[in-house]
Structure 1
Amino acid sequence: MAGLWRKAPSPCIDICKRPGKGPCVGCGLTKDEKKTFKRSRKKGDRKALFRLLLARLEQTGRRERWEFLYRRRCAKKNRPCPLDKLPHTRAA
């Protein structure tokens, strides 16, 4: 399943708005985290970033909407959704 994480689409859901220097309103990633995701190829690195992202989105109340849009993005790209392999994620 290492390929699943390596081929995971970016968590970006194309709603790019960053108030100040904080995380994006759409995906919850900071600019540095987005760069890190693009460069990371190790299973553990991307998995950890997804866990951090999900926790952040949960705190801000945007997790459910983001998950819906991210699952749609994975389907559109014809790739398995890595959220299915993380505990405590809701299937669509």
Structure 2
Amino acid sequence: MGKKVPSPCIDVCKFSRAGHCIGCSMTKSQKKLFKTIKRASQQQAFLKLLVSQQKKLGRYSHWGPAYLKKLKKKKVKVKITLT
């Protein structure tokens, strides 16, 4: 688990009127916050928060598979369910 968790961003970066990215559901401030988190355990906690946020907002079923692909490419495993 020593590897850094990559950003939840899936390179869509278009924001809705509510201020959430249509690709990953993060707000601009959440994107900045994730960049400041250094510990893998805290990054994983952030991912749990993000998944919960996506469930509440709806319409983010595309994010899990896209992020899993990114994780596989970077050879990183996370301890949460993304799909």
TM surpasses 0.5 = yes
Instruction: Specify which structure has the bigger relative contact order, considering alpha-carbon pairs within 8 angstroms and separated by 6 or more residues.
Output: 2
- Displacement of 1:70 after TM fit? 0.3
Aligned residues: 83
Give the gaps of 5 or more residues in structure 2: none
Q: Distance in 1 between matches of 2:59 and 2:17?
A: 19
1:19 aligns to what? 16
Relative to the length of structure 2, the TM-score reads: 0.82
- Displacement of 1:66 after TM fit? 0.7
SS at match of 1:64: coil
Q: Distance in 1 between matches of 2:19 and 2:60?
A: 17
Listed one character per residue, the Cα deviations across residues 1-58 of structure 1 (whole Å, up to 9, x for unaligned) are 3x24xx1111000111112361111011111111111111023421221111001111
Compared CA separation, residues 80 and 18, structure 1 to 2 (3 A): same
Tell me if 1:76 matches 2:78: no
Tell me the C-alpha RMSD between the 2 structures.
2.0
Percent identity over paired residues: 39
Relative to the length of structure 1, the TM-score reads: 0.75
Task: Tell me the amino acid that sits aligned with residue 53 of structure 1.
Answer: L
